[in-house]
């Protein structure tokens, strides 16, 4: 009788071990499918809301586009940290010192901007994992801002636009 219980217990432990060790990583067919799954969990802010925020107070804008996309036009006051470098720079005091800004507090509102919003959506999780609690994405990205407020953008004319083409697929 004891052997029967022992074998049942070993069988049960084997099943638990197999289930817990199985690869639960979801594989997406394409990036659009990934974006569609991530979007509902992301706090979005409209360009109109952002415009109001900029008129009434200070907010941290992080543009995650590549420099060749950022320099030809960006929302006033935004800081450029390309998506591939966000995890390395967002919490580094030296980076913010070089920008002549204070490092963001973990509870501070951070608004992510990219061309259309997709890279920003994929960046939220990484920033949240670093302890930042109030991260939002500009719905429609810089393109929507540019269409809504064409006269309210800055350009870095010292930087030559290298025509690097589409970056990041969005």
Give the pLDDT confidence of 106-130 residue by residue, as tens digits: 999 999 999 999 999 999 999 999 9
pLDDT of residue 163: 47
Distance CA 49, CA 46 (A): 5
> In terms of CATH, what superfamily is 25-148?
Rhodanese-like domain (3.40.250.10)
pTM: 0.78
Q: Residues with Cβ < 8 Å from 108, sequence gap 6 or more?
A: 60, 132, 134
Out of 18-32, 88-102, 128-142, pick the least confident. 18-32
pLDDT of residue 5: 61
CA dihedral 158, 162, 163, 168 (to 10 degrees): -100
pLDDT of residue 3: 62
Q: So where are the chain's domains?
A: 25-148
Host H or E run for residue 109: strand 109-113
């Amino acid at each position: 009788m004891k052997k029967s219980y022992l074998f049942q217990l070993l069988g049960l432990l084997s099943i638990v071990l197999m289930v817990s060790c199985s690869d639960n990583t979801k594989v997406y067919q394409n990036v659009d499918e990934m974006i569609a799954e991530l979007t509902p969990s992301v706090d979005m802010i409209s360009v109109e809301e952002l415009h109001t925020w900029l008129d009434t107070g200070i907010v941290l804008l992080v543009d995650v586009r590549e420099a060749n996309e950022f320099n030809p036009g960006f929302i006033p006051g935004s800081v450029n940290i390309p998506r591939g470098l966000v995890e390395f720079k967002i919490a580094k005091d030296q980076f913010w010192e070089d920008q002549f800004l204070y490092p963001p507090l973990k509870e501070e509102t951070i608004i992510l901007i990219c061309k259309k919003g997709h890279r920003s959506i994929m960046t939220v999780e990484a920033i949240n994992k670093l302890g930042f609690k109030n991260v939002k994405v500009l719905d429609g990205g810089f393109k929507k801002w540019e269409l809504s407020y064409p006269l309210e953008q800055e350009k870095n004319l010292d930087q030559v636009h290298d025509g690097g083409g589409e970056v990041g697929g969005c």
